[in-house]
Structure 1
Amino acid sequence: MTLDPAPALDYLERAEMIVRRVRETQIAAIAQAAHICADTIAAGGLVHLFGTGHSRIPIEEIFPRHGSFPGFHPIVELSLTYHNMVVGPNGQRQAMFLEKVEGLGQVIMRNFVFGPHDSFIIFSNSGVNQVVIDVALEARARGMPVIAVVSIDHCNASTPRHSSGKRLIDCADVAIDNCSPAGDALVTIEDLPYPVGPSSTIGYAAVVNALKCLVAAELTKRGQPPLVLTSSVLIGSAASEELFERTYDDYRERVAQVYGGRRLTSPASR
């Protein structure tokens, strides 16, 4: 029996539309965010990354992986993002409950030391759950610029849950739309009452990789080219391994103060 490919083709067409919409509508916001990130990294600071649920995915897309570089600091709480169990210990119900516990964000932030040049990127498709608002408000209170990456359509369609009455886009210096629709799923199938095929991952990946490319270009323009994790397929095994070690050493230096140690004082000390 041959399957009708129409639902798969429908998804791919709609995914292409999301990337096209990011390109046509979000470049100015991405450039503004890239300027903040480049300023942070050039000054020896860190761009902290936070998200709950499946918004962990763009955090891991930024760093560490091939084509990525130090200066970004993932903050990932397993209690809010560890989904493979689904039920039982560390189950999805617990994670979804915890991301709505107001005050948890401040507790998370108390675990880190933030520097004077640091900034924050917060990912949340809905942009209304209490923990991400906590973290955004705390980051702003500590003087850090906040970049929000959300689905604007989904965020505006969602009722604020935080006692402040704010959505994430209300807490941000820069808001970037991942261009996924309200509800996330893209494809409607005949006789199936609910849409399938989530889309926010597509938009997230397009946004964060476009952002990384701009940040790398700006740092290079400033005479501070980043150490980029690079595949052995491109530069050979020995060079790739050597660059891997240098990149991770650089990252270790940058994050030392976050965990109570010493952070480099200027990029020149690398």
Structure 2
Amino acid sequence: MTDSAALTAIRDFSSAVAERLQALQQLAEEGGFDAAVDLVERAIRSGGVAYAFGTGHSEAFAMEIAGRAGGLIPTKKISLRDLSLTGGMPVSELKGGKLERDPGIAEKLFALAEVGPHDVVLIASNSGVNGSIVGFALAAKANGNPVVAVTSAEHTMRVEPKHPSGKRLRDVADVVIDNLAPYGDAAITIGADVPAGAVSSITAAYIAQVITVSVAERFVRSGDAAPLYLSANIPGGDEHNDALEARYGIDRTA
């Protein structure tokens, strides 16, 4: 049986997560996600795509948005790896955290993504200050694309921007959703002073799924088929997904 100290840590972390998810649920019920849902729905109905971008652990947010079972089909994930996969950058330059802080790669990454005029860009960054993140948001805005930011309001205002513009992601975005992660991301303390239990990936995943189900519900409510993936691991999943990918011009093999 788990000892009492470990039980305390588990319960403290579970409470920290539950409190934040409950707060996000209340925010969603009060319409706090509606502006983001509006932008995604509008993009899809206009023939556009929802692009999702995040670096480091925030890449998990993009993976929640794009290309997964139960997720929206007109979506694409952007990754720093694209700079090597399609942009010719040596793989060695992807190592470590230096690249995500580099504002100089943002415009090249944006060009590789081929973001269209009707597309919306969703960006997750707990700190909201790294150069590639802010630079990509600025590139999207310069291209006329709306930007939805998922970031920690508490953390971002306690750290200095790393982009030459002096801006944070929240300063650039059209819509900002607070992921409710604390400064430093760790939500509990073990012992006297050991921070642990990061929550930003959990809350960002919840935000991504709330946006997804809300967009899907709007399609169903209006009498349209919700453009959602079925699991490829169930009978008929591939056929369903292939047909809708063709309809929306999505090529997951590219």
For residues 1-20 of structure 1, the aligned pairs below 5 Å read 2-4=2-4, 5-20=7-22
Question: Is the CA contact (8 Å cut-off) linking 2:82 and 2:112 kept in structure 1?
Answer: no
Q: Flag the 1:30–1:238 CA change in 2: closer, same or farther, 3 A.
A: same
Question: Is the CA contact (8 Å cut-off) linking 2:121 and 2:147 kept in structure 1?
Answer: yes
Question: Is the CA contact (8 Å cut-off) linking 1:50 and 1:121 kept in structure 2?
Answer: yes
Question: Is the CA contact (8 Å cut-off) linking 1:53 and 1:95 kept in structure 2?
Answer: no
Pick from 21, 24, 40 the counterpart of residue 23 of structure 2.
Answer: 21
The one-letter code of the counterpart of 1:59 is: A
Q: Flag the 1:77–1:241 CA change in 2: closer, same or farther, 3 A.
A: same
TM-score when normalising by structure 1: 0.82
Q: Flag the 1:90–1:15 CA change in 2: closer, same or farther, 3 A.
A: farther
Whether 2:246 is the aligned partner of 1:249: answer yes
**Which residue is 1:145 aligned to?**
146
CA-CA distance at 1:14 after TM superposition: 0.6
CA-CA distance at 1:90 after TM superposition: 5.5
Question: Is the CA contact (8 Å cut-off) linking 1:102 and 1:162 kept in structure 2?
Answer: yes
CA distance in 1, matches of 2:51, 2:66: 11
**Which residue is 1:72 aligned to?**
75
CA-CA distance at 1:232 after TM superposition: 8.1
CA distance in 2, matches of 1:202, 1:2: 24
For residues 78-89 of structure 1, the aligned pairs below 5 Å read 78=81
Question: Is the CA contact (8 Å cut-off) linking 1:26 and 1:176 kept in structure 2?
Answer: no
Residue-pair matches, total = 243
CA distance in 2, matches of 1:209, 1:121: 13
For residues 20-169 of structure 1, the aligned pairs below 5 Å read 20-25=22-27, 28-78=31-81, 94-169=95-170
The one-letter code of the counterpart of 2:46 is: A
Unaligned stretches of 5+ residues in structure 2: 84-90
Question: Is the CA contact (8 Å cut-off) linking 2:74 and 2:245 kept in structure 1?
Answer: no
CA distance in 1, matches of 2:103, 2:245: 35
The one-letter code of the counterpart of 2:44 is: I
RMSD: 2.4
**Which residue is 1:268 aligned to?**
none
Unaligned stretches of 5+ residues in structure 1: 81-88, 260-270
DSSP-derived class of the 2:68 partner:
coil
CA-CA distance at 1:115 after TM superposition: 1.9
TM-score when normalising by structure 2: 0.87
**Which residue is 2:201 aligned to?**
201
CA distance in 2, matches of 1:139, 1:6: 45
CA distance in 2, matches of 1:241, 1:100: 38
Task: Give identity over the alignment, percent.
Answer: 31
**Which residue is 1:213 aligned to?**
213
Q: Flag the 1:162–1:243 CA change in 2: closer, same or farther, 3 A.
A: same
